[in-house]
A and B are shown apart, each in its own frame.
Chain A
Amino acid sequence: MRIRYSLPALASAALVLLTTAIALIAYVAPEDADQGLSQKIFYFHVPIALTAYVMFGWGAWKALVHLWRRDPAADLESYVAIHQGVIFGALTLVTGSIWAKVSWGVWWAWSSNQLVLFLVLFLFYAAYFMLRFSIEPGPRRANSSAVYAIFGVALIPVSFLAIRLANDFIHPTVFTSRGPQMSGLMFFTFCFSWAALLTLAACLYQVELAGKRLDARLRELRELLA
């Protein structure tokens, strides 16, 4: 690692930002004229979804770095990023489902493109773990995982396009889940909340990475001693 992150500092920053974000959402952001209180989940749901995209993108980038330089550290980073992405992706599905229940009265709506896209991505990245756990650790596994991770970023826009097209013959009606306009204060709260969640994701990423690295080093030592 070239830059030394101080993990406790990152964790404290995430805590402070998240607490402030919750306070902003609760007291400062104006209530939506249309949906009222339930719209407030938007400040979590959408930033969580965007954070998941960032983690998937970061994982694919690290996968590319791995294929390029054959760096085992990049393989581990790619795996941890995708793991965090899947956690945030699952949270997106949960928060989206809650929002769908409150505003449309159903737990699941196939007409919500973003939710369907996240379901496809969730299945795709769950298969990534199946792939990783079924191949022996080594360069072969690292390469296959990296190729699959890169497929993921190609799949995101293609699936998005496909799901939008699918509504053409599956659901002709279109729900709009968001008010057409966001006021300045709402937009600020949204951005702040996203920044908080990105910091949280970065913190979790570093924690998991530190654990995994320690694990790998311990295994190396054990092999040396055995």
Chain B
Amino acid sequence: MTYLADVGTLARKDLLLELRARDTLPAMLLFVLSTLVVFHFVLPGDSSKLAATGLLWVALLFTALLGLSRSFAAEREQGVIDGLVLAPSDRSAIWLGKALSILVFLGLAELLALPAFALFFADVDGSLVAGVALADLGIAAVGTLLAAVAAAGRARELLLPLLFLPLAIPIVIGGVGASVSAHSARFLGFLAVYDAIFALVCWASFEYVVTE
């Protein structure tokens, strides 16, 4: 139970920091909204709703990247990560706590993005919402680990998208499939499998990323 308490404390720390400093979430909200407005002008007038749904996924993915690239900023700039690694708790708790806070940010950004999408482009149905929720789990799990990896590099803001996008291709396929295909259950199942596999790999390997 102490493990879960550690995770909860770490996630609460990130959320509190965000509540006081407000440097990630407002940026994500504004970014996703402006991207959707840009997409209106990208799509020709007679293009299908399917194209708009595809672009929604692009907007969500890049919004997530924006949040992820800031996720280890405090840890890196203030040297918090050394303290966290030295703390008497399992290192994977750092990953889980961070992933949970990222998940909250993503959920809040989508709380704005999906109604805005419904308003500007097309209706949002249950399978799209389910796809977004499952994709968020995968994005938070993989993205948090890669953000920690990229934080060690020189050009970290540049590195994260390069590391993340190839791994996000299956998420995009699952998400777009869930929202446009007639067999959305199959794609939702695939997303769940992706989340399970990569969450496990990230959970097991996070320790090696933050220690020497």
Task: Confirm or deny: A138 has a beta carbon within 8 angstroms of a beta carbon on chain B.
Answer: yes
Per-position 1/0 for B10-43, Cβ under 8 A of A: 0000000000000000000000000000000000
Q: In the complex, are the beta carbons of A155 and B176 less than 8 A apart?
A: no
Q: Is B180 an interface residue (CB 8 A)?
A: yes
Distance of B149 from chain A, by nearest CB (Å): 5
A151 at interface by CB-CB < 8 Å: yes
Q: Which residue of B lies closest to A123 (CB)?
A: B166
Say if the beta carbon of A159 comes within 8 Å of chain B.
yes
Among B185-200, those with CB < 8 Å from A are 186-187, 190, 193-194, 197-198
Chain A hits for B149, CB < 8 A: 131, 144, 147-148
Give bound CA distance, A148 to B165, whole Å. 13
- A162 touches B (CB below 8 Å): yes
- Asked if A42 is at the interface (CB within 8 A of a chain B CB), the reply is no
Question: B162 touches which one: A120, A127, A155, A166 (CB < 8 A)?
Answer: A127
Is there an interface contact between A162 and B153, defined as CB atoms closer than 8 Å? no
Say if the beta carbon of A25 comes within 8 Å of chain B.
Answer: no
Residue B145 interfacial (CB < 8 Å): yes
Interface string of B144-170 (1 = CB under 8 A from A): 010001101111100100110111011
Q: Is B124 an interface residue (CB 8 A)?
A: no
Residues on A facing B (Cβ under 8 Å):
67, 120-121, 123-124, 126-127, 130-131, 134-135, 138-141, 143-144, 146-148, 150-151, 154-155, 158-159, 161-163, 165-166, 168-169
A140-B173 contact in complex given A146-B208, A147-B209, A169-B181, C-beta closer than 8 Å? no
For B174, give the chain A residue with the smallest CB separation: A162
In the complex, what distance in Å separates the CA atom of A121 from the CA atom of B209? Answer: 22
Cβ of B78 within 8 Å of any chain A Cβ, yes or no, is: no
Partner of B169, one of A67, A120, A130: A120
| B-chain residues with CB within 8 Å of residue A161 when the two chains form the complex | 170, 190, 193
Per the bound structure, the CA–CA distance linking A69 and B208 in Å amounts to 12
| Inter-chain contact A151/B167, CB cutoff 8 Å | yes
Interface residue? B201 (CB, 8 A): yes
Closest 6 A-B residue pairs measured CB to CB?
Answer: A134-B153, A124-B166, A162-B170, A139-B212, A162-B173, A127-B162
B interface with A by C-beta (< 8 Å): 145, 149-150, 152-156, 159, 162-163, 165-167, 169-170, 173-174, 176-177, 180-181, 183, 186-187, 190, 193-194, 197-198, 201, 205, 208-209, 211-212
Taking a contact as CB atoms under 8 Å apart, the answer to whether B169 and A162 are in contact is yes
Q: Which B residues are CB-close (under 8 A) to A138?
A: 212
Interface centre among A126, A130, A158 (most CB of B within 10 A): A158
Distance to closest chain B CB from A56 (angstroms):
13
Q: Contact partner of B167 among A124, A134, A166, CB < 8 A?
A: A124
Given contacts A154-B198, A158-B194, contact A147 B170 (CB under 8 A): no
B112 to nearest A CB, angstroms?
27
Min C-beta distance of B194 to chain A, whole Å: 6
Distance between Cα atoms of A144 and B208 in the complex (Å): 7
Instruction: Decide: B194 and A169 in contact? CB cutoff 8 A.
Output: no
User: Known contacts being A134-B153, A155-B167, A166-B173, is A144 close to B209, with CB within 8 Å?
Assistant: yes
Task: Give Cα A148 to B181, complex, Å.
Answer: 32
Could you list 27 A-B pairs, sorted by A, with CB under 8 Å?
A67-B208, A123-B165, A124-B167, A127-B166, A130-B163, A131-B150, A134-B153, A134-B154, A135-B154, A138-B212, A143-B211, A143-B212, A148-B163, A151-B167, A151-B198, A154-B198, A155-B167, A158-B170, A158-B194, A158-B198, A161-B190, A162-B174, A165-B173, A165-B187, A166-B177, A168-B181, A169-B180
Q: List chain B residues, Cβ under 8 A from A165.
A: 173-174, 177, 186-187, 190
Q: A159-B170, A168-B183 are in contact. Are A135 and B153 (CB under 8 A)?
A: yes
User: Which residues of A sit under 8 angstroms from B181, Cβ to Cβ?
Assistant: 168-169
B150 partner residues in chain A, CB cutoff 8 A: 131
| A158 vs chain B, min Cβ distance (A) | 5
Given A143-B208, A143-B212, A146-B208, A134 contacting B166 (CB threshold 8 A): no
A54 to B180, CA, bound (A): 36
